[in-house]
Structure 1
Amino acid sequence: MTDLDDARIHNFLLSALPADEWQRMRPHLRLVTVHLKETMYEAGQAIEHVDFPVSAVLSMITQVDQETAVEVATIGREGMAGLPVFLGVSDSPNTVVAQIEGLIIRMPAARLREFLLGDGILHAQLHRYVQATIVQLSQNVACNQLHTTEERAARWLLMTADRVGSPQFALTQEFLAQMLGVRRATVSLTAGMLQSAGLISYRRGNISITDRAALQDAACDCYPRIRSEFDRLRNNR
């Protein structure tokens, strides 16, 4: 996939744009490959560009202390990284890194601001995306406080599969530990339990969901609540 027109249909926000609005936006876009752990933005620094994931998945991380960082939101093909630009803010409150490598469509932040001066479908879609992101953030807070590591890991794996559009994706235990805010040994134990139960297969840094229905049963109720919000965004409701 090397063409912007082909790539944009995989991002929910861009695929919703009518042809004329897309053609006005297209000259300001470029297709970029991002790699595992690559940093999109650093907390407290200016947002120079916004990113619409196509096949990559990005992670919004907050630093708790010098040793601990926790994921607060995941950004995949349903949305856009750099949402503060839409809200009129220039700096990123969080660090955003690639958790799954792949393609994104990148646009300079200044160009997005100019583009949004005209009232179009993208403006409406971003409002819906703000709502879905607020639900995700609030649900994550409750989830991190109330649910077990196994439940949260199952939710995270399901959400990642949704965002890449595949039951298979590359993932290290180190990265999953950071996303869940737990020690690597805890992740190793949790992944082993899910694998022993036949829910996933984990080998050499690659995850394969082998029983999605059972994995959904193992996940907490946060997963269907977050999923329903992004389904509404995809279906323009």
Structure 2
Amino acid sequence: MVSAAVERTTLEIGQTLHRSGEMIDHVYLVESGFISAMAVLSDGQPLEVGLIGSEGVAGGTVLLGAQTSYCETMCQTGGEALRIRTSKYLRLMESCPIFRAVTLKYLHMFHAQVVQTAACNAHHDLSQRLARWLLSAHDRSGTPELSLTQDLISIMLGVRRSTVSVAAATLQRAGIIRYQHGKITIVDRVGLENAACECYEAISGEYRRLFGEHPKDIVRPHRFTT
């Protein structure tokens, strides 16, 4: 029975769900908030490779045969999730072929996001990348006000804090965002979309192709009872 396999849990800002190289003991179906998936370099420095919101799942690579986590997954905001022990999750996937098919679609989508993020980091300027990231965070958080320090953004984008200040100031002067006291407020969503590079629309287009909707429209709770 699905309800017996699932427990609701609260996600805390900064909480790590999976550590790189460690066993994936639980899978998390996010209901609210969003999570960063980060590659951890040999010097311990993390770099974000993708965002997970309530359109997806953290730890879902167990469905592809993985036992340990390649990435570190950290909660960027508070929220809620449905937590399932890995063994029960795999049995659930076997018994629910429709759920399995949708999850495999999502895992493809997340892979596409990682690929596009790598291309974006290599070829686009920081203000475009920051705009893309803020749009993705807005889609998943559902709120225009994001609690983000420049230190955190610099880690997520793999750049120095000083360059984040310059990029944020550029968007603020254009009237697109307002940044103060560790919070970024999106003032002009359309302007932010125009300021972003092609990568945001590329990933949004892939979502539409697979799911028939824009990612911000498919952020909704997973339909389970506990």
Task: State the TM-score, normalizing by the size of structure 1.
Answer: 0.85
- CA-based RMSD of the aligned residues comes to 1.7
Aligned to 1:123: 100
State how far apart, in whole Å, the 2-side matches of 1:67 and 1:114 are. Answer: 35
8 Å Cα contact 1:100/1:171 also seen in 2: no
Q: 1:234 to 1:25 in 2, by over 3 A?
A: farther
Percent identical among aligned pairs is: 36
State how far apart, in whole Å, the 2-side matches of 1:27 and 1:64 are. Answer: 38
State the shift of 1:109 in Å: 0.9
Indicate the SS of the match to 2:111: helix
State the shift of 1:27 in Å: 2.3
* Unaligned runs of at least 5 residues, structure 2: 214-226
* Unaligned runs of at least 5 residues, structure 1: 1-23
| CA deviation profile, 1:8-63 (whole Å, cap 9, x unmatched) | xxxxxxxxxxxxxxxx3222222211122110011000001111111121111112
Indicate the SS of the match to 1:116: helix
Aligned to 1:11: none
Instruction: Identify the match of residue 133 of structure 2 among 156, 159, 163.
Output: 156
8 Å Cα contact 1:125/1:233 also seen in 2: no
Larger relative contact order, structure 1 or 2 (CA cutoff 8 Å, min sep 6): 2
> For residues 114-193 of structure 1, what are the structure 2 equivalents within 5 Å?
114-193=91-170
| CA deviation profile, 1:77-133 (whole Å, cap 9, x unmatched) | 110000221111110011111112211221111110111122422101011112211
8 Å Cα contact 2:28/2:58 also seen in 1: yes
State the shift of 1:68 in Å: 2.9
Q: 1:103 to 1:77 in 2, by over 3 A?
A: same
Alignment: residue pair count: 214
State how far apart, in whole Å, the 1-side matches of 2:58 and 2:9 are. Answer: 14
8 Å Cα contact 2:146/2:183 also seen in 1: yes
Task: State the TM-score, normalizing by the size of structure 2.
Answer: 0.89
| CA deviation profile, 1:193-226 (whole Å, cap 9, x unmatched) | 1111110111222221101111111100000111
